[in-house]
Structure 1
Amino acid sequence: MLAAVTAATVGYAGPAAADTGKPAAGAVVTRAGLAPALVAGRGADLGAAEQEAENARSTGTVIGPDRTAYTLPSEASGRSAVKLTPGQYVEFTLPAAANAITVRYSIPDAPGGGGTTAPLDVAVNGRKHSTMTLTSQYSWLYNQYPFSNDPQAGLLHPDWWITECSCVPSATTPAPEIAKPFRPTHFYDEQRLLLGRTYKAGDTVRLTVPQGSKAAWTVIDLLDSELVAAPHVNLAAANVLAFGADPTGRRDSADAIDRAIAFARRVHLPVYLPPGTYQVNRHIVVDDVTIEGAGSWYTIVKGHQVDLATPAPDSSVHTGVGFYGKDAAAGGSRNVHLSGFAIEGDVRERIDTDQVNGIGGAMSDSVIEGLYIHHTKVGLWFDGPMKNLKVTRNVITDQIADGLNFHTGVTDSVVSHNLVRNTGDDGLAMWSEKTADARNTFDHNTVQSPVLANGIAIYGGTDNTVSGNLVADPVREGSAIHVGSRFGAEPFAGHLWITDNTTVRSGTYELNWKIGLGAIWFYALEKDIAADVRVTGDHFLDSTYNAVMVVADWPVKDLYEVTGLHFKDIRVDGTGTSVLSARAAGSADFENVDARNVGAVGVNNCGSFHFTPAGSEFSVTDLGGNDGGTTTGAWLAPWELPNTITCDDRPPVVAPPAPSAW
C-alpha cells in the first residue's frame, strides 16, 4: 500500500509567508495557486484577482501542503491555507482597484452536525469595515456516498468495502469500530462582500477572527478581489416590482416573477429584476423569455429547501429555488436568456432524486450568462435531448454534487469562461446516458477543488471538445480530466479533442484501487474506448502520481480496451511517478511530448496483466520528438517500445519541484 501523500512527499507551488511583522512585498496574485504566466491564455478570465492566504501577511498558521483526502489542506486551493484562532488575522494587499471581495473559508461543524456560525472582521487600510457572519451549515459531509450531515452516524452501507481497512465491515469489522466522524469532507464555503467604494491597488484588506469567537479556528483559503460594475438597469423591460415582487426578501416573490414572465412574453419584452433579494422557494419555469438582473452582486434570488408532502413523479422529496426549462419529454424550452443575477440555494444534503438544481430542465437555443450559483445541488443540470445552449461567464461554487452536467442528448452547445469551485462531484460533465451528447465544447473554464470525482468528465458521446481549460486540485476518486466508459453511457464515437488544457496538482490517489491515477485518465469499464481521441497541446503540471493513465477495471480487463489515443505537443512538468501508466489492453502514440521531473520510470506498462512472452497488451508508438524525463533516461526510452512490460504497480512517490517556466 502506498504511504499517505503529505507535505513531505508532494511538491508545493508558491511560498508561504512567515509572520515577520512586516507587510508582504506586494500582492502575490495566482491563478489556481500558480503564477499567472504558467497558465496564460487558459481557464476563465472573469476579472477577479486570486490571492492565496498562505502568501499573505498573517499571524496565523499555514496548514499543508497536503494531498491526503479528508484533510483541510487537501481541499484548499493550492493544497495549503492559513488557520486562525481568535485574535489572529491574515492581511492581503490589493493588486488592483477593487470594490468587492470573495472569501473562501472553513469553520468547524457543530458537534452533532448541522453547522455553526462565527464572525470574521473585515478591515480596510487598518479601519474596520464590517463583520462577516461565516457559516458551516452548507459544508461538512461525512460517511459513505451519498453522505450524511451527522458526524456520529454509523456506516450508511455496512456491507460495502472499506478502503481504510480493506475489509467488508459486516464480515470483519463491526461498524462501531469505524472511527467517527468517518470520512469528513466538503469543508469549505465562500462568502461575497461589496465594499461600498472602490479601493486602490496597494490598499490592504485584513481578515481577523475577533476575540470571543465561538469557532475554535477559522481557516482562510483565499481572497478574490474585483472591481464590480455599477448595477445594470433596463427601463424598457417588465420590472418584477410592478408585479408585486418583494426586493427585501421578506415575502415570497415566485408568483410575482411568474406574472412578470407571462406579461413579458405577451408583449415581447425582457423581464428585469432590479437590485434586491427575492425569496423564491420553488422552480421558476422559463420558456421563450429573457430575464435580466442588475448583476449577480446586486440581484439575488434566494430560497429555502422545501419538503414535499408526497414525492413528486420524478421522486424528488424536496423543491427549492431554481430556473427550469420544460421537460424534454414535453418539448423542452427554447429561446431562454438568463443573465445578471445570483441564485442562492439551501441544499445541505445529497439526495440524487431531488430536483434542487440552480438551473434545470431542457433549454435549446438559449443563453445563460453572468450568473452566480451557490448552495444548490447541481449548478446547472440539463436533461436532453436539447441543442444550441451557451453557458458563459458564470460562477458556480459550493455545490453538493456537479457544477454542470450535459445529460442525455445535449448537442451543439458551448460551456465557456466559467469558474467552477468546490463541487461535491464532477465540475463539468457530459454524460451520454441513453442518447449521445454530440458536438459540444467545454472551453476556457477554470475548475478548482472538486472534492469528489473529476474536474472535467466526458462519459461517452460523439465529436466533443475540451479545450483551453484550467483544472486544479481534484481530491479523491477522480482527477482533472476523465474519459470514461461508465454509468451506462453510449459509446465514444467520431472524435474527442482534448486540446490546450492545463492541469495542476492532479493525478490523485485512488482510495479504492490504492494506486495513483493520471492527471488525465481513460477508463474502460463498460465498453471499449475506440474513438479518435487526440490530446494536443496540454500541460500536466505537478501531478501527484501520473500525467496519463489508461485503465480497465480488473473484472473486465480482458473484455474492453482503449485504442486510438494520440498525444502530441504535450508538456509534463513534474509527476510523482510516471508520465504514462497503462493498465489495460490497447494502444497510444506520442509525438513531441516533453517531460521533466518524472519521479519513476517514464512508462509503467502493465497491459492487461497477463505478462505474455509477446509483451504488454498495450502498445506504445513513438512518433518522435519525445524528450526529457527521469534520472534513468528519456521517459519514452527505446527499450520500452513498442510493448515492453515495465509494470510497477506502486512505485515510490518522488515529489517534483514546483512548476516553472518551460
Structure 2
Amino acid sequence: MSHPVHHPRRRHARRVAAATAVAIVATLAAAQPGIAGGSSAPKPGVETVAALSPSLTAGRGATVPFVEQEAENASYTGELVGPDRTPYTLASEASGRKAVTLDAAGEYVQYTLTRPANAVTLRYAIPDAPAGGGLTGKVDVAVNGHKLTSATLTSKYSWLYGTYPFSNDPQADPNKDWWLTECGCVPSATTPAPVFDKPFRPFHFYAETRIPLVVPLKKGDTVRFSVPARSTLAWITLDVADFEQVGLPTPPPKHALNAWAFGADPTGRRSSAEALDRAIAAGSKLGRPVYVPPGTYKVERHLVVDKVTLVGAGSWYTKLVGAGVGVYGKYVEDGGSTAVHLADFAIIGDTRERVDDDQVNGVGGALGGGSTVERLFIQHTKVGMWFDGPFSGLTVRDNIIVDQIADGLNLRRGISNATVTNNFIRGTGDDGLAMWSHGVSTPAQDADHHNVFSHNTVLNPALANNIAIYGGHDNTVASNVVADPVREGSGLHAGARFSAVPFSGRTTFTDNTTVRASTLDLNWKIGLGAIWLYALDGPVTGVDVTGDHYLDNGYNAIMMVSEWGVKDLYGIDDVHFADVQVDGAGTSVVSARAFGSASFTNVDVRNIGWAGVNNCGSFGFPATGSEFSLVDGGSNDGTDGNPWEAGRNWFTPFVPNTITCNDRPPVVTPPPPSNW
C-alpha cells in the first residue's frame, strides 16, 4: 500500500478539514462572555421535560446535554396553536400539543437562556410544496436584539400523505386495501368507491435543525427566531428549542488510525465510502480504532463493520451524510458482527418517503458480542437503528435519534441481553422504541428476551407507540419518559401482533412516566390508554406494571383489549399493577375489552373524568358479570366522576367484574398534572 500522506490532494483535504474544525470550534467554543445589549423585555426562561416541569419526571428519562424550552412558554408575537390532540393538526404533533405559528415579517419567538449555551436545536414546521417534495426558507436568528445569522428550514423530509406505507406525494391515492376511518370502509370493497379529497391525510409535519449560535451565550441572554422581511414561506411554526453547550471536538483514541490517511474527504465533495471501508478493514485487522476527524463525509451506502471501533470527534463535528448512508453489522446469515464500537459522529440521511423494503437505516444488521453504539446523532434515515437477530449482547446508549420516517430503534427477531439506555428519540413516523419478536422460524429462536429499555426519553411519534413490546419473554421497560403519541398508538404498548411469537415469562414495565399518551383510536373510535395491552394474534399474559406514572391522559390510563374478531379466542390475563399513579384521565383509569383478569395494588388516582373502571369484558354481557375480573390487592385510593355514585372510590364498586361498558363515555379534559 502506498503512503497516502504524500498525496497532494489528501494534504489539501487535511488543510480544509483542519480549517473546518477550527471554524466549528470557534463557533461552538464556550470561553467568551455572552453578548451584551438588546432592547426586548424577555419572559424568564422556562425549562421543561416533555413540556412539563422537570420535577414531574425526576429520575426518569434520558440525561441529555441540552435544555428544552417550549415556544408557548417564551415571548412571542405569533399565534398560539393548540392545545389539540386531534390527528393531522400542527398542534397534535407538537411537543406539549402546543406551538406558535409566525405568518408575517418580523413576527418572532424569543427565548431567554436559563444556562450557558453555544448551540440550539430548533423543531419547526413549514409548508410543503403544492406538488410535494418540500419547500426551503429562512428564519432569522438574533441574540440580545442583534441579528447574527439566518438558519435554513426545509420541509423536504416531512409531510407524508395517504395510507400505509405513506408517500410524500400529495396527489397519492389511498391504499385500496387499507381500512379508512373517514368512511369506515375498505375502498375496494365499497360500491360506489368513495371519493377522497387530496391531499389525503397529511401528517408528520415537523423537522429539526441544529444551529451553532456563532457566539457563546450566558444565562439571561435572549435568542429570537423571526420571519425575515422577504420570507419565501407562508408560515413558520416553532415548537421547541433545545439549548446546548457543545464541547470541543473529541480527540482521537490512543493508537487510532486516521480516516484521512485512507483518503476520506472531509469536505463532502467526493465519496468517502471506499476510503472508510479501507480504514475500517485496517482497523479490524490491526486491532486499532478508526478515527474520523471533524468534517462532512459523503457516504451513500452502508459501511459494514465487524470487530472494529469507529469513532468521530463528536456528533456536531463528524458527519456521515448521503442517500442510503448507514453503518451496519453483517447480517446473521453472513455470520453477524461482534465487538463493534461506534461513537461520537452523526449519520444524516436523505430518506423522504417510507419504503419498507429499502435498507436505508442509520445503524443496522447484527451487532452482538459486546458491541456498543453511543453518542450518535441520527436524522433523516428510515429507521434510526434496526437490528436483525438472532444475536446477544448489545448496548445502545446516549444517542439522539430524530426525524425518522419509521421507527427510532427496533430489536427484531431473537435479540437477547441488549440494553438500550439514556437515548433521546423524537419525531418518529412509527414506534419510537420497539422489541419485535418476529416469528419467522421457531419461537425459541425468534423471541426477543432479557432485553432492557431504560432511562430513555421518547417524544412525538406521529404514528404508533412511544415504546412497544411485540411478543417475547422476560423483557423490561424501566424509568423511561414518553409523551405525545399522535395516532394509532399509546405511550407504552404490549401487543400480540405483527406475527410475533407468543408472550411468555414476564414482561415488566417499571417506573415509567407517560405524558399526554392516551389518544383516540380512529379505527375503533374509542380512547386508548397511556399503557395499552392488545391481544390480536394471540393472548397477552405475564405483564407486571410497577411504579408507573400516567399523566394527563386524554382518555384512559390503562387499556386492555382484544380485537373483535378474536375476542372469544384470545384474552389478557396474569397482569399486575402496583404502586401506580394516575394524574388525569379524560374517561377512565381502566378500560377492559377482553376476557381475563388483572390485579391492582396501591393504584392512586385523581382527576378522573368518568368511571374509574369501564369494563366490557368480551362483550358477552353474562348475568354473572363481565368476563374480565379485577382483583383488589388493596390501597387503591382516589375517586372518579362516575354517574352512579360520584365521589366513591374509583375501584372498589367495580370489583370483581361489574359491567360498566360504555364505548364513548363523556370526556372531561383533566387539569395539568402536578406533584403528588
TM-score tier (shorter): over 0.9
Aligned partners of 1:141, 1:339: CA distance in 2, in Å? 31
Judging changes above 3 Å, is the alpha-carbon distance between structure 1 residues 346 and 173 closer, same or farther for their aligned structure 2 residues? farther
Does the residue aligned with 1:246 lie in a helix, a strand or coil?
coil
Q: Which moved more, 1:280-289 or 1:78-87?
A: 78-87
- Deviation at residue 164 of structure 1 after TM alignment: 1.1
Q: Which amino acid aligns with 1:144?
A: T
1:660 aligns with 2:671: no
1:534 aligned residue:
544
1:615 aligned residue:
625
Aligned partners of 2:213, 2:591: CA distance in 1, in Å? 49
- 1:445-483 deviations in whole A, cap 9, x for unaligned? 000000000000000111110000000000000110000
Q: 1:345 aligns with which of 349, 369, 386?
A: 349
Aligned partners of 2:50, 2:188: CA distance in 1, in Å? 42
Aligned partners of 2:418, 2:317: CA distance in 1, in Å? 28
Q: 1:487 aligns with which of 493, 498, 504?
A: 498
**Cα RMSD for the two superposed structures:** 1.2
Q: What are the equivalent positions in structure 2 for 1:239-278 lying under 5 Å apart?
A: 239-278=258-297
1:603, 1:635 within 8 Å by CA — same for their partners in 2?
A: no
Aligned partners of 1:605, 1:59: CA distance in 2, in Å? 47
Judging changes above 3 Å, is the alpha-carbon distance between structure 1 residues 173 and 239 closer, same or farther for their aligned structure 2 residues? farther
2:187, 2:194 within 8 Å by CA — same for their partners in 1?
A: no
Q: What are the equivalent positions in structure 2 for 1:284-363 lying under 5 Å apart?
A: 284-304=303-323, 320-363=324-367
1:154, 1:176 within 8 Å by CA — same for their partners in 2?
A: no
Q: Which amino acid aligns with 2:517?
A: S
- 1:558-602 deviations in whole A, cap 9, x for unaligned? 000110111000100000100000000010000100000001100
Kindly report structure 1 stretches of 4+ aligned residues shifted beyond 6 Å.
none
2:27 aligned residue:
none
How many positions carry a matched residue from both structures?
625
Q: 1:162 aligns with which of 173, 180, 188?
A: 180
Aligned partners of 1:167, 1:525: CA distance in 2, in Å? 20
Q: 1:649 aligns with which of 663, 669, 673?
A: 663
Q: What are the equivalent positions in structure 2 for 1:159-238 lying under 5 Å apart?
A: 159-170=177-188, 172=190, 177-234=195-252, 236-238=255-257
Q: Which moved more, 1:84-93 or 1:69-78?
A: 84-93
Q: 1:428 aligns with which of 420, 426, 433?
A: 433
- 1:382-435 deviations in whole A, cap 9, x for unaligned? 000111100000000000000000000110010000000000000000000120
Does the residue aligned with 1:629 lie in a helix, a strand or coil?
coil
Q: 1:517 aligns with which of 507, 520, 528?
A: 528
Unmatched tracts of structure 2, length 5 or more: 1-38, 440-445
Q: Which amino acid aligns with 1:460?
A: G
Q: Which amino acid aligns with 2:658?
A: T
Aligned partners of 1:342, 1:483: CA distance in 2, in Å? 31
- Deviation at residue 24 of structure 1 after TM alignment: 4.0
- Deviation at residue 180 of structure 1 after TM alignment: 1.4
- Deviation at residue 542 of structure 1 after TM alignment: 0.3
Does the residue aligned with 2:87 lie in a helix, a strand or coil?
coil
Q: 1:97 aligns with which of 116, 120, 141?
A: 116
1:448 aligned residue:
459
Aligned partners of 1:613, 1:51: CA distance in 2, in Å? 54
Q: 1:394 aligns with which of 392, 399, 408?
A: 399
1:316 aligned residue:
none
- Deviation at residue 268 of structure 1 after TM alignment: 1.6
- Deviation at residue 295 of structure 1 after TM alignment: 0.3
Q: Which amino acid aligns with 2:673?
A: P
1:29, 1:95 within 8 Å by CA — same for their partners in 2?
A: yes
- Deviation at residue 636 of structure 1 after TM alignment: 3.6
Does the residue aligned with 1:633 lie in a helix, a strand or coil?
coil
- 1:152-182 deviations in whole A, cap 9, x for unaligned? 222232x533211223434557667311111
1:35 aligned residue:
53
- 1:336-370 deviations in whole A, cap 9, x for unaligned? 00000000000001010110000010000200000
1:154, 1:175 within 8 Å by CA — same for their partners in 2?
A: no
Task: State TM-score, norm by structure 2.
Answer: 0.91
- 1:270-324 deviations in whole A, cap 9, x for unaligned? 00011000000010000000011000000000012xxxxxxxxxxxxxxx10000
1:628 aligns with 2:638: yes
Q: 2:146 aligns with which of 122, 127, 130?
A: 127
Does the residue aligned with 2:280 lie in a helix, a strand or coil?
helix
- 1:180-223 deviations in whole A, cap 9, x for unaligned? 11100000000001223321011111101102111100000010
1:369 aligns with 2:374: yes
Aligned partners of 2:602, 2:197: CA distance in 1, in Å? 49
Aligned partners of 1:228, 1:69: CA distance in 2, in Å? 35
Aligned partners of 2:235, 2:125: CA distance in 1, in Å? 9
1:412 aligned residue:
417
Does the residue aligned with 2:283 lie in a helix, a strand or coil?
helix
- 1:66-110 deviations in whole A, cap 9, x for unaligned? 000000110000000000013211100111011110000000000
